[in-house]
Each structure stands twice: as structure tokens, then as C-alpha cells.
Amino acid sequence: MRATLDKVLSGIGLLLAVVLVVAGGLMTWANVFIGSQVEEQFSAQDIVMPTQEAIDGQVASGGITEENAKELEKFAGEKLDNGPAARAYADHYILAHMNGSGAALNDGEPVTYEEASSIGREKMAAVAENADATEEEVAEAQAWMDLRESLFQGNTLRGLLLYGFAFATMGTIAGYAAIAAYVGAALFLVLGLLGLAHSRKVAHAEARAEA
């Protein structure tokens, strides 16, 4: 009876080992596929991360903060072809400049695309209705509309880069999951084989006892 139970449990363990190997293979494929696609799509954009000199210049001019600079320095001068670099470029370069552009028109406070769009339309309408509008008022209204366009483009690019980062992260997670699956498969394989060996010993012992 004990030998039969050992065989059943060992068979389950070996079956789980096979399932984990298959799962690990699929996750390995996902990791490789996602990684290659992310690199291919990013490389096609031909974006190069700011050099250390450019980063230092941006900090000196107030274009980006020291915190942004530290994140960008990890990829300084490299081609943008991976998820972490895409996130750094999106959140610590593009967004920093978007906030800076908005702050320049909004008393030091960054603005969103919706806010810039609303203010820009209001100022353009006011200029259009006022035949005596000054050149400064016209220029200010146009500056808000230019900011609106800039923020729209910036948000679009950031969205694409962060989508790429999200997929790259999924690929990385799949890679770790594949390793865990292979380790689990190896463990179940060893336990299954040990269980079969033990079942044979028990079977021989039971046979001798019956004899």
C-alpha cells in the first residue's frame, strides 16, 4: 500500500515537473520575444540619451533638476533601446522640460495639456475680440498655444516610451518567472525520482515481509 502511494505521489511530482518545464519554456520565449521587440522598436526611433556634458549643461541652466540628472546619468550618451532608459528619458527629461515650459508661462507652476489648452483658447479669443490688443498680448496668447502643442507632443512621446517600459518590465518578470519554473521543475523531478526509488525499496520490503 505504501509503495503504491509513493508511486502516485512521485508520478504527480514528475507531472508537475513537466508542466513547469513547459511553462518555463513559454515564459522564456515571452522574455526573449518582448525584449527583442522592445529593442527593435526603440532602436527604430534612433533616440540617443543626453551626454554627460549635455546633462551638466541642463542642470546649470535650470532645465532639469539634480534628481533628474542622476537618473539620466545612468544612460548618458547611450542609444535608447531598453525599458529603463525609456522611463528615464520620459520622466526625467521630457517631463522635466514640459514642466519647465509650463512654469515659464504660469508664474513658476507647471501646467497640464488641458490647462494650457484652456488658457490658450481663452487668450486667443480675447485677442481676436479686442481690436486694440497689444503685440505683447498677441505674443502671450500665441505662446500659450505653442505650449499647448508642445505638451501634446510631449505627452504622446512619453506615453509611447512608458508603454515600451511597461512591456519591457513584463518581459523581465517573465524571465524571472521562467527561472523560478525551471528551479521548481528540477525540484519536483528530484523529489519524483527519489519517491520512485523509495517506492521500490518499500515494495521489496513488503514482498520480503509477505514471504
- Write out the chain's pLDDT in tens, 211 residues: 565 666 777 788 889 999 999 999 999 999 999 999 999 999 888 999 999 999 999 999 888 999 999 999 999 999 999 999 999 999 999 999 999 999 999 988 999 999 999 999 999 999 888 878 888 989 999 999 999 999 999 999 999 999 999 999 999 999 999 999 999 999 989 888 887 776 777 666 665 666 5
In this predicted structure, what is the pLDDT of residue 191?
86
pTM, 2 dp: 0.80
**Domain assignment of residue 191, given as a range:** 2-210
Helix residue ranges per DSSP H, 46-134: 52-61, 66-73, 83-89, 95-105, 113-129
Instruction: Report the domain count for the chain.
Output: 1
| Separation of alpha carbons 121 and 165, rounded Å | 34
What three-state secondary structure class fits 181? helix
In this predicted structure, what is the pLDDT of residue 197?
74
From the number of C-beta atoms within 10 Å of its C-beta (0-12, 13-18, 19+), residue 88 rates as: buried
In this predicted structure, what is the pLDDT of residue 54?
94
Max Cα distance, the chain (Å): 117
